[in-house]
Structure 1
Amino acid sequence: MDKIKVIITDLDGTLLNKEHQISDYSKKIFKELYDRNYLIIVATGRHHLDAMPLVAGFDFPIYLVTSNGARIHNPNKELLFSFDIESDAIKSVLDLEIDPEFTTVLFKEDVWQTNKTNEKLNKFQKELNYRPEVVNFKNETDLKAIKMFFTHESHGKLIELRDKILVNHDHLFSHAFSLPYCLEFMDKSVDKSVAISKILEIENVRFDNAVSFGDGYNDEKMLTATAHGYIMGNAPESLKKKLPQLQIIDTNEFDGVAKFLAASFLDADVLKN
């Protein structure tokens, strides 16, 4: 732990509690770590317009990786990197006549387009900075997007959809389940770990100098790339079994990340919440 200089964390299911917010205790611990010169990186599947109001609660500058690595913003909120999925690639997926029981979403720059209103997704935003727009995708001429994802209550049906899409698209997309009911597709070159490596190069540090925290399959490469990766207690059992070498910590509901960091890096008087 003496070599650790970088702390990397996911948001949903990891740093955020069940109300999709960063608790006051977590803010306190991260501020203390920042004051002790640890580099803080937040890496999330959320769009940057959605994530920025959440991390603003830290009240100190951080690096922000969003859309699973398709966007990177520096501590001054300047865009360092962006990569989109081409319109034709997305069209070839939507031409598969996906059952309308799936909620289909395209992350655009300023809005997220969807085939129908999904209140469960809407609840992820406390502040509606990144607005949904219900569209008929067959009438859209420009489908270029940061990320494409599908949601359904049945994880099994999402697996079937994933397999259907990958038959002819495996060479185009990387994919992950950020949550059991959220199947996400990005350009093949996009991953949180790839984006993080760009930041580490800028800061002249290595993955060996970093710890990471996550709860989803979109965190897998990030968790295994860092010196120490930690899986949330609320993560899917399948992820825990896939990565048995990684330590499991407390859940997001009970500030698992902040409590672990406080116990590992801070003085005893800071552990009180």
Structure 2
Amino acid sequence: MYRLAAFDMDGTLLTPDHRIGPETLAALNQLTDRNMVVTFATGRHYLDAQPIMAQLGLQGYLITGNGTRVYGKQGQQLYATDLPAEIAEDILHTDWDTPASLHVFRDEGWLTEHAVPEMLQAHHLSGFQFQLTDLRRLPAFGNSKVCFCAPHHVLIELQAQLQSHFGERVDLCFSAYECLEVLPLGCNKGAALSKLSGHLGFTMADCMAFGDAMNDKEMLAGVGHGVVMGNALPQLKLSLPELPVIGHCEQQAVAHYLQHWLRSPCSPYTPV
């Protein structure tokens, strides 16, 4: 029924301790055995996501940086978009009225002025780490996205500042409760998946997708079959009430859903 399956990583495929469970891995391998294209669509950097896939013996297409980059199965870059230089320069040289830490992502890695060792736990499988640098000295070109990290209520206040400052020149999204991202206008996982599916000769109707956060919204809404995680952000569930909601990533709910779907792709699914 579908030719491509796209998966968010954190909060969807990965358990809360940022691992892929054995049942999930087996289900992904079953999809590839049936000649379905498997795609991972994540906010993570390529240098972070690709080693995780390699360690697990998985091969698939990669959408990284919440849609700013798309990679082929051999790691070749198929698509890239960056923040306009004037936008990036404005972000990096404005003294925002917030205690949130600022993080910049470029092809060479993750750059910040703030040592945040507590954030490294999410990257223990890949060993991906931030590089401390003076962000004001970064080039204005080549910045794929920036992230502000802080408690959610702090980011809500910052979101209003950013919206007032930039208007409709950028896209803002919460990739997690404590992470607010500034992305190139029109850049999201759904737009990137549309480009990838076209590259492969598919339409979005040929795709199914799984996700848990607001950065998954466009992807889930745009595919032929979108699936929302039980542990998804409440805002996502409210914005996509027509989509099925399955179990929690801690219980490897994606694996249970796929096992049911592979046995009987047309029958309804009841979450466990």
State whether TM-score is above 0.5. Answer: yes
Aligned partners of 1:22 and 1:54 also within 8 Å:
no
TM-score computed with the length of structure 2 as normaliser: 0.91
Give the residue type in structure 2 aligned to 1:11.
M
Root-mean-square deviation (Å): 1.7
Unmatched 5+ stretches in structure 2: 265-272
- 2:155 pairs, out of 152, 158, 163, with 158
Task: Indicate whether 1:171 and 2:173 are aligned.
Answer: no
TM-score computed with the length of structure 1 as normaliser: 0.91
- Distance across 2 between alignment mates of 1:165 and 1:226: 30
In structure 1, the residue matched to 2:107 is: 109
Give the residue type in structure 2 aligned to 1:35.
D
In structure 1, the residue matched to 2:215 is: 218
In structure 1, the residue matched to 2:62 is: 64
Give the residue type in structure 2 aligned to 1:46.
R
How far 1:100 sits from its partner (Å)? 6.1
In structure 2, the residue matched to 1:247 is: 244
- Distance across 1 between alignment mates of 2:88 and 2:138: 11
Give the residue type in structure 1 aligned to 2:80.
S
Task: Indicate whether 1:200 and 2:197 are aligned.
Answer: yes
- Distance across 2 between alignment mates of 1:209 and 1:85: 30
How far 1:219 sits from its partner (Å)? 0.3
- Distance across 2 between alignment mates of 1:35 and 1:216: 29
What count of residue pairs does the alignment treat as equivalent?
Answer: 263
The aligned runs of 1:1-273 (5 Å cut-off) are 3-99=1-97, 101-127=99-125, 129-138=127-136, 140-144=137-141, 145-153=143-151, 155-266=152-263
How far 1:127 sits from its partner (Å)? 4.2
Aligned partners of 1:16 and 1:22 also within 8 Å:
yes
- Distance across 1 between alignment mates of 2:219 and 2:233: 17
Higher alpha-carbon deviation: 202-211 or 51-60: 51-60
How far 1:171 sits from its partner (Å)? 3.0
Unmatched 5+ stretches in structure 1: 268-273
How far 1:135 sits from its partner (Å)? 2.5
How far 1:18 sits from its partner (Å)? 1.2
Q: After TM superposition, where is structure 1 displaced by more than 4 Å over at least 4 residues in a row?
A: none
Give the residue type in structure 2 aligned to 1:89.
I
